[in-house]
Amino acid sequence: MLLEEVVSAMDVTNTNREGAGIPLMVNSNVIRNNQTPPPSFPSVNGAATYLSETTSYLTSCFPAISDDVPGGPDAPEKMVLASEELREPLLRNNGGPPSTVSGSFTATTNAPRIREEITRITEGDHAQNNVSSVQSDETRTPGISLFQGLVDRVRKTMHGSSDDIGWLQRDPEMPPVEDGTERFNSILENIGHGIHVLPTSVVYLLVPGLFSNHGPLYFTTTKATFSKMGLTCHIAKIHSEASVEKNARELKEYIEEIYWGSKKRVLLLGHSKGGVDSAAALSIYWPELKDKVAGLALAQSPYGGSPIASDIMREGQIGDYFNVRKLMEILICKVIKGDLQSLEDLTYEKRREFLKKHHLPKELPVVSFHTEANISPTVLATLSRVAHAELPTFPPLSSNQAATVLPVVVPLGATLAACAQLLQSRYGEKSDGLVTCRDAEVPGSVVVRPKRKLDHAWMVYSSTNDDPLEPDASQVCEALLTLVVEVGLRKKHYLSVKEE
C-alpha cells in the first residue's frame, strides 16, 4: 500500500513549488491500520521528502541490516545521502536537465525506477530478515538436541533390560526345551525315602559361581553328602572372578586331569556363573571332551544373561547414576584381585555374542534348574539366610606367611529377596534375586521349574531355618544329577536306535 501511494504521488500534477518547505507528517497509526492518508505534495521536493521518510519507515520495520541499507552509528548521515540520490532522478525528465517548469511536472517516466529501487531495498531487508530467522533456528537446534538427548537417556534408563530378558526363548534358531519338573519331583521323593541311584562309575564335579573363592562353605555340604554315599566328588578350584573363557580353559584341563587319573567320565553341576563356565568349556572344547564328559546340570545359571549384571555394566543404567560399576570394579579388581570381565561376561550383550559362536552339542545331556525367591515381608525383615565370607585384608609379608582374611557375615536371604522384589517391580519378572527364570532355561535342555520358593544362595549355603520336612540343597543336587543320568541314557538309546 505504501508503494502505491508513492507511485500515485508521482502522478500528481499542478504541484505548487512554493510549498516545498512544508514538512510532511505521516500518522503511523493510520499506516498500521492500512488506512491511506491523503497524498498532498506542494512541490517535487515534498514528494522526495515523503519518499525518503517512507523508505526510512520501511527500513525501520526490519531489524536486520543489509548492504543496501546502511546501519551503525553513521546511519542517519548515510540515509540522507540515500534520499538525495533518490531525489535527483525526480528532478529530471527523461534523463534531461532539471526542469524549470513551475506550473506542471510529470514523473511517470521515472516512476518505474523509483518502484524498482524501493522493491530492491525492501526485498533486501526481507531476505536479510529470513537469514536471521534461519540463524536463530540454527541457534536453537543445539538446545533442542541437548533436551532430546536427555529425554532419550531417561527413556533408556527406565527401559533397562526389558527387551533382553528371555531373548533365548524368542530366538527362532534356538532349540526348544523339555519340561522335566514332574520327573524331577519323583526322583526327589525317592531320595527322601532313601533311594539313591547315582552311579559310582562317574566322577562328580561341582563348579562354583562368582565370589565362591571367598565363601569357605560354598558347596561343602553337598560334597560331604556325596562322599558319605561313596561317590567321588570334587569342587573345582578355579578363579571364579575370572572371565568365562579363562575359566572354560581351566575346566577343560580339570576334566582331562580327572579322566586321566580315574579313567572315569565326569558329570558336572555348575551353580550360577559356574554353570556358564562349564557350558562354555563344553561348547568350545567339545571335540577333546566328548569322550570324557557324561553330562551337565546348570543350577540358577544366567545362561542368557543377567539383568543385574547388565544394569551395573551398561551405560546409562544404575551403574552410571550411583557409581555401582566403580564400586564393583574396586571390589573385584582391588579387594579380591579378580577380573571385571567376569561380571561383564554375564551381560546380555556378551552372552549373545558368545552363544552366536559357541553352542552346546546336541548329544550332550543337559538339565537346567531355576527357582523363584520368596519376597514376603517376613524374609525381607529377618536374617533368614546368612553367608560367611572371607575377604583379604593385608597381603602376606613373606611367601611362607598366609594372607590375613577378614570374616564377613552377609544376610543373603534379605538381600536376595530385595533384589527379587526390584526385578519384579521393574520388569515384572520372576527371579531368584539375581537370575530371572527365563534366562536360566538353556535351549535344548530338560528344564526343572519347582514351585518351592528358593533364592539364589539356597543351593550352596545351608541354613538353620530350613524346614526339616523339605529336601535340602544336597538332595536337590542329587536329584538334578540323577535326572542328567536318565537324560543321557535316553539320548544314548535314541542314538543307538537311530544308527541301527
Q: Give the predicted TM-score (pTM) of the model.
A: 0.66
Dump pLDDT digits (tens) for 262-277.
999 999 999 999 999 9
Whether 76 has a pLDDT exceeding 90, the answer reads no
* Percent of the chain topping pLDDT 90: 41
The least confident of 51-60, 121-130, 373-382, 393-402 is 121-130
- Cβ(391)–Cβ(406) below 8 Å: yes
Q: What is the DSSP letter of 42?
A: S
Mean pLDDT of 50-59: 54
Strands 202-207 and 265-271: parallel
Q: What is the pLDDT of residue 86?
A: 40
Whether 399 has a pLDDT exceeding 80, the answer reads no
Spatial strand order of the sheet with 293-299 comes to: 178-179, 446-448, 366-369, 293-299, 265-271, 202-207, 233-235
Whether 89 has a pLDDT exceeding 50, the answer reads no
- Is pLDDT larger for residue 127 or for residue 294? 294
Specify which of 99-108, 117-126, 291-300, 451-460 reaches the highest per-range mean pLDDT: 291-300
Beta bridge mates, 229: none
- Cβ(302)–Cβ(439) below 8 Å: yes
Mean pLDDT of 378-399: 55
d(CA 473, CA 462): 7
Dump pLDDT digits (tens) for 460-495.
875 555 667 889 999 999 999 999 999 999 988 776
Strands 366-369 and 446-448: parallel
d(CA 178, CA 184): 12
Alpha carbons within 13 A on the beta-carbon side of 428: 3
Total count of residues recorded for the chain: 500
Helix then strand then coil, % of the chain, to nearest 5: 50, 10, 40
* H-helix or E-strand spanning residue 487: helix 473-499
Say which residue the cell 559356574 belongs to.
274
Query: With bands split at pLDDT 50, 70 and 90, how would you rate the model's confidence at 32?
Result: very low
Query: With bands split at pLDDT 50, 70 and 90, how would you rate the model's confidence at 335?
Result: low
d(CA 414, CA 383): 6
Strands (E), 306-386: 366-369
Q: Phi first, then psi: what are they for 409, rounded to 5°?
A: -110, 125
Dump pLDDT digits (tens) for 177-227.
999 999 999 999 999 999 999 999 999 999 999 877 766 778 988 999 999
Residues with Cβ within 8 Å of 414's Cβ and at least 6 positions away in sequence, in order, are 379, 380, 381, 382, 383, 384
CA-CA distances (angstroms) from residue 498 to 17, 178, 287, 492? Answer: 121, 20, 21, 10
Q: Phi first, then psi: what are they for 110, rounded to 5°?
A: -90, -5
Q: Phi first, then psi: what are they for 268, rounded to 5°?
A: -100, 145
Query: With bands split at pLDDT 50, 70 and 90, how would you rate the model's confidence at 13?
Result: very low
Mean pLDDT of 13-39: 43
Whether 279 has a pLDDT exceeding 60, the answer reads yes
Dump pLDDT digits (tens) for 221-265.
899 999 999 999 999 988 888 899 999 999 999 999 999 999 999
Q: What is the DSSP string of 383-426?
A: ----EEEEEEEE--SSTTSPPEEEEEEE-HHHHHHHHHHHHHHH
Q: What is the pLDDT of residue 109?
A: 42
d(CA 410, CA 387): 5
Mean pLDDT of 116-128: 49
- Cβ(255)–Cβ(293) below 8 Å: yes
Q: Judging by beta carbons within 10 Å of its beta carbon (0-12, 13-18, 19+), is residue 27 exposed, middle or buried?
A: exposed
d(CA 396, CA 406): 14
- Is pLDDT larger for residue 303 or for residue 413? 303
